[in-house]
Amino acid sequence: MNGKTNGFATPGALIVLLAMVLFASPLSAAENGAAELHVGVGVAPVQTLFELFTDITLATLSFGTIEPTTETENATLFVEYARPMGDMSQLVMHVDYTRYQKRYEVQSTGTVAGNVTDDFYTLMLGVKRYYVRTGSFGLFLELMGGVSMLQSQTDIDELETNSSVLIAYQITPLGLRLGDRFALDLSVGLGYKGLVGLGASYAF
């Protein structure tokens, strides 16, 4: 379904190097505030459009004889580490995972043609900028970019596993943070994190 590639090494190594710098650089909590750890889930990420495109491609290549009958889209699970860059901005490292499982049938007979499982492993770096941050209330935007490794396994013709590298991004024009050391986050945007993200964070 997807061609094999070895292109992950260069962009992946760059992102990992930047992440190491992010973790290794000293944190001045007294000057810039505290670091934060976020965990959460996202729904309707841009990978859903990728899956729709692959369904259309497979149906076209099979001249309409094979079509998806069931599809399971799991919520995107993400972890983020954020550290301050001044009073109103943070540098963010984002890691997430999501899975799509589909079953295809032969349209004319209704027999099972096979199954496809797509796993997306995404690593992004970005910036969070607060419009407002007072006490336990905050409004923010996020911009992130990075890479996503797609591992696709199918048994439609024969058991085959392919890997692809995709450019990952997230544009979040509006996010809401409620809480102090412990907080809840709600965000709306477009990208690999999802249209809507809900999470919890801890400042330390």
Q: What is the pLDDT of residues 45-60, one digit of tens each?
A: 988 887 777 777 766 7
Domain assignment present for 19 = no
Question: Residue 58: which domain range?
Answer: 34-203
Q: What is the pTM of this model?
A: 0.77
User: In this structure, is residue 11 part of a structural domain?
Assistant: no
Per-residue pLDDT reduced to its tens digit, 12-49: 555 555 555 555 544 433 334 689 999 999 998 988 88
Instruction: Please check whether residue 183 lies inside any domain of the structure.
Output: yes
Residue 157 has what DSSP assignment?
A: S
Does the structure show a pLDDT above 90 at 89? yes
Q: What does the alpha-carbon distance between residue 164 and residue 84 come to, in Å, rounded to a whole number?
A: 33
Per-residue pLDDT tens for 131-155? 999 889 999 999 999 999 999 998 8
CATH at residue 171: 2.40.160.20
Q: How confident is the model at residue 106 (pLDDT cuts 50, 70, 90)?
A: confident
d(CA 92, CA 22): 9
Mean pLDDT value across residues 101-124? 84
Query: How does pLDDT run across 163-200, given as a tens digit for each residue?
Result: 899 999 999 999 999 998 999 999 999 999 999 999 99
Q: How far apart are CA 159 and CA 149, in angstroms?
A: 20
In a domain, 46, yes or no: yes
75 or 68, which is more confident?
75
Pull the structure tokens for residue 161.
């596993």
Mean pLDDT taken over the chain: 82
Which residue is listed with tokens 């760059």?
14
Q: Per the domain annotation, does 39 fall within a domain?
A: yes
Kindly list the distances between the CA atom of residue 23 and the CA atoms of 20, 35, 98, in Å, as whole numbers in the listed order.
5, 11, 25
Alpha-carbon distance of 37 to 204, in angstroms, equals 8
Q: Which of 7-21, 43-57, 70-84, 99-113 has the lowest mean pLDDT?
A: 7-21
List, in sequence order, every beta strand (DSSP E) within 74-181. Answer: 76-84, 89-106, 112-134, 137-154, 160-179
Look at residue 5 and tell me if it is in a domain.
no
Q: What is the mean pLDDT of residues 67-76?
A: 77
- Flag whether 143 is in a domain: yes
Q: Does 27 fall in a domain?
A: no
pLDDT on residue 142: 97
**b vs e for 175-186, b when ≥16 Cβ sit within 10 Å of the residue's Cβ?**
bebebeeebebe
pLDDT at 88: 92
pLDDT band at residue 122 using 50, 70 and 90 as cut-offs: very high
Predicted pLDDT at 17: 56
Query: Six-digit token pair at 135?
Result: 């006490």
Could you give the number of structural domains in the chain?
Answer: 1
